[in-house]
């Protein structure tokens, strides 16, 4: 027993276990379920019934079996490749986005540390800069898929995706600059702990959304644009370029693009929770000083999950509420409005910190 | 020709440029629908067709049906009214002499090519004997062979199932053959038999 514990506590082994838990028990299942939930929820928004046909005998589970049906279908579908496609790039492109989406969870803490044990795969010093590095990798998925498909629509979609994601990355970083300044660190655990302070005694928690309201709106907009979902879905542009950069894909590789989108959606939700809504910290829980450690950890996980789920729902609701931006409007919004706003946000934050400490 | 053009003023100003007010208006609408439908699908008007069926009124023109007299014999007297009025020419009748003089004629062959029928209901209106009706309530007819759609005098039968009746057809031997006038037309005042 002790030897097993010792092996588990080796940092590398522990990290692998954490990665498995975070990916296989949190990111992937939630992303997969959201593919169905988006269809169900959008049906509710539009007064439709939504998927409910897949069944085993009489059992349909209100459409839950569509998950299994879709998965089976993608696995057994032919994996086609267009004539003249760049084989190697075409085959690996779907997994760039997926890997980038999953890597986001490496720095997300699910609960507070117990002693030396952290509920976080790694708490690296650069912290959020790692996120920026990884999300810029996900551009490669779209670009490689677009260029290697030997299809004009896919090429257009890939070009649009590259332009949009690179532009929005610029002020995604600038929008977070305010958060770095307020909490004085880029380390994720530092930012989360900084949000556990309170204003006016124990009245209002110093959540990022209260200290950086404009930063929150800007960062959220930039992340939605990064995931290429409506209203910034010009790269996919169903009405004009069919499906954009992953037009030529079929079967499981197509599913990898879809899964990457939903894993990124969960990633966005957990990032927003971590940076702007107190992360795992349950507000006012520190007032209950005799709370047992296990209960605190469970409450923290529950709080984090609820906020993450809420923002997953919010993004889906956003997609089914707003119309799509035309591509030039996407660019105009990014460069002419959001970039100056995020710069102003940085200056105002710096001024307030200087003036009022 | 001068075109009528309606000028719509483009909404301008800070409120529009900010996007957020319009976004909240949109959210109010979609979230209202979302919450109403989250518990019990209250606004959904979809009918889950194979499981639920829409109520069909008595006047709905469905598959045809041939009616019987009180003694079970065909009401049809082979007068060719329906065949004449049919706009799609889908009814085909061959008259035969009925052994009972008071009945005179009956259809030896009564075919309806259901693939040509347009369900206009004119045959029902034209019939002087109320011999053909469209009140079966069968609204979906989907079979795998053309012959199944070639409805015959089998339409007379209760619980008519085209797949079951396509072959053999409902023959003359299946019809009741009344022994005498009284049995053939019990309520008849009596046209003397020859």
CA distance A251 to A20: 25
Q: Average pLDDT, stretch A183-188?
A: 82
pLDDT higher than 60, residue B169: no
Q: Residue B185's pLDDT is what? A: 56
pLDDT higher than 70, residue A55: yes
pLDDT tens digits, one per residue of A197-229:
777 777 777 787 788 888 888 888 888 888 888
Task: Give the residue from chain A lying closest to B37, CA to CA.
Answer: A44
pLDDT higher than 50, residue B174: yes
Q: B27, A321: Cβ pair inside 8 Å?
A: yes
Q: ipTM more than 0.85?
A: no
Element (H, E) at A205: strand A204-205
Q: Using CB atoms, which residue from B26, B27, B44 is nearest to A47?
A: B44
Q: B41, A44: Cβ pair inside 8 Å?
A: yes
pLDDT tens digits, one per residue of A264-303:
888 888 888 888 888 788 887 777 777 787 888 888 888 8
Q: pLDDT averaged over chain A?
A: 83
What percentage of chain B has pLDDT greater than the value 90?
Answer: 3
- From chain B, the residues in CB contact with A314 under 8 A are none
Task: Please give, rounded to a whole number of angstroms, the shortest distance from the CA of A168 to a CA of chain B.
Answer: 17
CA distance A18 to B15: 47
Q: Residue B186's pLDDT is what? A: 55
Question: Cα A133–A189–A203 angle (5° rounding)?
Answer: 125
pLDDT tens digits, one per residue of A120-142:
777 777 778 888 888 778 888 88
User: What does the block give as tokens for A13?
Assistant: 């082994």
CB-based contact A259:A98 (threshold 8 Å): yes
More confident residue, A111 or A323: A323
Q: Which of B116, B77, B111, B120 is nearest to B97 (CA)?
A: B77
Q: B48, A322: Cβ pair inside 8 Å?
A: no
pLDDT tens digits, one per residue of B15-66:
777 788 888 888 898 888 888 888 766 777 888 777 777 787 878 888 888 8
Q: B29, A52: Cβ pair inside 8 Å?
A: no
Q: Does A322 touch chain B (CB under 8 A)?
A: yes
Q: A44, B27: Cβ pair inside 8 Å?
A: no
Q: B29, A320: Cβ pair inside 8 Å?
A: no
pLDDT higher than 50, residue B168: no
Using pLDDT thresholds of 50, 70 and 90, give the confidence band for residue A322.
Answer: confident
Element (H, E) at B107: strand B105-113
Q: Which of B155, B146, B87 is nearest to B115 (CA)?
A: B146
Mutate to test the interface with A, among B14, B16, B19 (most CBs of A within 10 A): B19
Q: Average pLDDT, stretch B154-166?
A: 61
Q: A49, B44: Cβ pair inside 8 Å?
A: yes
Name the region of B95 (left: φ>0; alpha: ψ -120 to 50; beta: rest).
Answer: beta
Phi, psi of B97 (to 5 degrees): -85, 130
The domain segmentation of chain B, as residue ranges, is 14-45, 65-170
Q: Average pLDDT, stretch A7-22?
A: 77
CA distance A278 to A192: 6
Architecture of domain B65-170: 2-Layer Sandwich (3.30)
pLDDT higher than 80, residue B176: no
Which positions ≥6 away from A236 have C-beta within 8 Å?
A157, A228, A243, A244, A245, A246
The highest-confidence range among A153-167, A289-303, B149-163, by mean pLDDT, is: A153-167
Q: Average pLDDT, stretch B178-188?
A: 58
Q: Which residues pair with B66 in a beta bridge?
A: B132
pLDDT tens digits, one per residue of A18-51:
788 777 777 788 888 888 888 888 888 888 888 8
Task: Give the residue from chain A lying closest to B24, CA to CA.
Answer: A321
Element (H, E) at A199: strand A198-199
Q: Residue B187's pLDDT is what? A: 55
Q: B34, A49: Cβ pair inside 8 Å?
A: no
CA distance A191 to A126: 12
**Chain A 51-70, CB below 8 Å of chain B: which residues?**
52
Q: Residue B85's pLDDT is what? A: 92
Q: Residue B164's pLDDT is what? A: 59
More confident residue, A268 or B104: A268
pLDDT higher than 50, residue B192: no
Other Cβ atoms closer than 10 A to B194 = 4
């Amino acid at each position: 027993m002790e030897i097993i514990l010792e092996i588990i506590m080796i940092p590398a082994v522990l990290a692998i276990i954490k990665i498995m838990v975070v990916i296989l028990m949190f990111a992937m299942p939630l992303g997969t379920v959201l593919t169905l939930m988006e269809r169900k929820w959008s049906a509710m928004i539009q007064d439709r019934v939504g998927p409910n046909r897949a069944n085993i005998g009489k059992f349909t589970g209100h459409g839950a079996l569509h998950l299994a049906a879709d998965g089976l279908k993608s696995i057994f579908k032919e994996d086609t490749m267009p004539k003249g496609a760049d084989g190697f790039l075409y085959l690996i492109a779907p997994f760039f986005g997926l890997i980038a989406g999953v890597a986001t969870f490496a720095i997300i803490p699910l609960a507070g540390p117990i002693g030396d044990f952290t509920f976080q795969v790694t708490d690296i010093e650069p912290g959020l800069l790692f996120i920026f590095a990884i999300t810029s990798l996900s551009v490669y998925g779209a670009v490689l898929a677009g260029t290697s498909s030997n299809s004009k629509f896919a090429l257009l979609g890939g070009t649009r995706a590259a332009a949009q994601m690179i532009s929005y990355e610029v002020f995604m970083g600038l929008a977070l600059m305010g958060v770095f300044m307020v909490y004085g660190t880029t380390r994720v655990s530092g930012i989360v702990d900084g949000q556990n302070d309170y204003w006016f005694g124990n009245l209002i928690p110093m959540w990022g959304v209260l200290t950086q309201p404009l930063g929150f709106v800007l960062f959220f907009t930039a992340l939605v644009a990064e995931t290429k979902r409506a209203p910034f879905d010009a790269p996919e542009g169903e009405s004009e370029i069919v499906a954009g950069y992953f037009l030529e894909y079929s079967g499981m590789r197509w599913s990898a693009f879809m899964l990457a989108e939903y894993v990124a959606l969960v990633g966005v939700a957990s990032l927003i929770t971590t940076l702007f809504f107190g992360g795992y910290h349950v507000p006012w829980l520190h007032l209950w000083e005799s709370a047992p450690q296990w209960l605190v950890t469970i409450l923290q996980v529950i709080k984090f999950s609820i906020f993450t789920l809420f923002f997953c729902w919010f993004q889906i609701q956003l997609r089914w509420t707003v119309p799509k931006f035309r591509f030039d409007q996407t660019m105009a919004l990014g460069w002419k409005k959001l970039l100056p706003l995020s710069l102003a946000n940085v200056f105002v934050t710096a001024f307030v910190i200087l003036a009022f400490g | 020709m001068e075109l009528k053009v309606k000028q719509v003023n483009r909404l301008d100003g800070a409120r529009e440029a900010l996007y957020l007010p319009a976004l909240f208006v949109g959210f109010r609408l979609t979230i209202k629908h979302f919450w109403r439908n989250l518990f019990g699908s209250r606004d959904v008007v979809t009918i889950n067709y194979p499981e639920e069926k829409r109520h069909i009124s008595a006047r709905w023109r469905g598959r045809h049906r041939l009616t019987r007299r009180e003694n079970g014999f065909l009401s049809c007297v082979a007068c060719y009214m329906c065949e004449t009025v049919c706009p799609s020419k889908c009814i085909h009748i061959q008259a035969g002499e009925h052994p009972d003089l008071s009945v005179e004629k009956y259809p030896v062959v009564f075919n309806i090519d259901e693939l040509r029928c347009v369900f206009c209901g004119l045959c029902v209106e034209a019939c002087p004997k109320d011999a053909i009706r469209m009140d079966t309530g069968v609204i979906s007819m989907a079979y795998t062979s053309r012959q199944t759609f070639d409805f015959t005098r089998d339409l007379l039968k209760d619980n008519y199932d085209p797949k079951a009746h396509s072959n053999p057809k409902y023959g003359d031997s299946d019809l009741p053959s009344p022994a005498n006038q009284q049995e053939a037309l019990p309520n008849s005042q009596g046209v003397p038999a020859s």
